[in-house]
Structure 1
Amino acid sequence: MTEQDTTPVVQRVDARHRYEIAVADQRAGLTAYRDRDDRRVFFHTEIDDAYAGRGLAGVLVEYALNDVRASGMRIVPVCPYVAKFLKKHEEFADIADPVTPEIMDWLEGQLKR
């Protein structure tokens, strides 16, 4: 396998409301979101066990947050991993909004659909 084959590739998959990360053309993980007005609400991030320990979650979330910034949107970190990432990466603080009960109620309604 060449180095290019093992370089992680991240893409936004709007139809599935998530960003996916792949290694050697195999999906290795995802971070899921729902959009509410100008806010992208991240609620779940996972990396397949076969790819654990490679730093892929950080690569995935950093890509996603940069994409949100480029689109002019804001971030709401319901997902514990995204919230933890934001604490370590203050360069995204200017586009992060707090998780509120209103957001949680709205998200619950979105996920029941």
Structure 2
Amino acid sequence: MTQAAAPIVRNVDARHRYEILVGEVTAGFTAYRDREGQRVFFHTETDDAFAGQGLASVLVQEALSHVRASGKRIVPVCPYVAKFLKKHEEFTDLTDPVTPEILQWLETTLAR
């Protein structure tokens, strides 16, 4: 009997996202842009083939832990990241609110 590979989370800075891999397959990602010491998370998704396995939670936990280690702050524009933060108060100290200014900045940045 073969055991499934443990998921691995990696930061792919050139693509502005963290990816979660199961074996050799990218099972999901959470996308971000950096702004003045903040990492603004705006979208998270997992492939349907991996739904229901808790991979999005593992992905976001690892991504936010990486942000903490890097000294940046978190801005949860992404609804999944915002929901995750409500359940994981250990990241409250490095979370900034989503403001109209940040949303405008993100819209402009993503349009480039």
The CA RMSD over aligned residues, in Å, is 1.0
Q: 2:36 & 2:16 partners in 1: Cα distance?
A: 14
Tell me the equivalent position of 1:112.
111
Q: 1:85 & 1:2 partners in 2: Cα distance?
A: 32
Decide which moves more: 5-14 or 87-96: 5-14
Q: 1:85 & 1:78 partners in 2: Cα distance?
A: 12
- 1:30 and 2:19 are equivalent in the alignment: no
Tell me the equivalent position of 1:41.
40
Runs of 4+ in 1 over 6 A off after TM superposition: none
- 1:66 and 2:65 are equivalent in the alignment: yes
**Letter matched to residue 7 of structure 2:** P
Q: 1:24 & 1:39 partners in 2: Cα distance?
A: 31
Q: 2:68 & 2:107 partners in 1: Cα distance?
A: 25
**Letter matched to residue 77 of structure 2:** V
In the alignment, structure 2 segments of 5+ residues that lack a partner are: none
Q: 1:83 & 1:8 partners in 2: Cα distance?
A: 22
Q: 2:70 & 2:2 partners in 1: Cα distance?
A: 33
Q: 2:39 & 2:88 partners in 1: Cα distance?
A: 17
What SS does structure 1 have at the residue aligned with 2:31? Answer: strand
TM-score in terms of structure 1 length: 0.96
In the alignment, structure 1 segments of 5+ residues that lack a partner are: none
Aligned pairs (5 A) from 1:16-27:
16-27=15-26
CA deviations on 1:37-93 (whole Å, 9 max, x unpaired) are 100000000000000000000000000000000000000000000000000000000
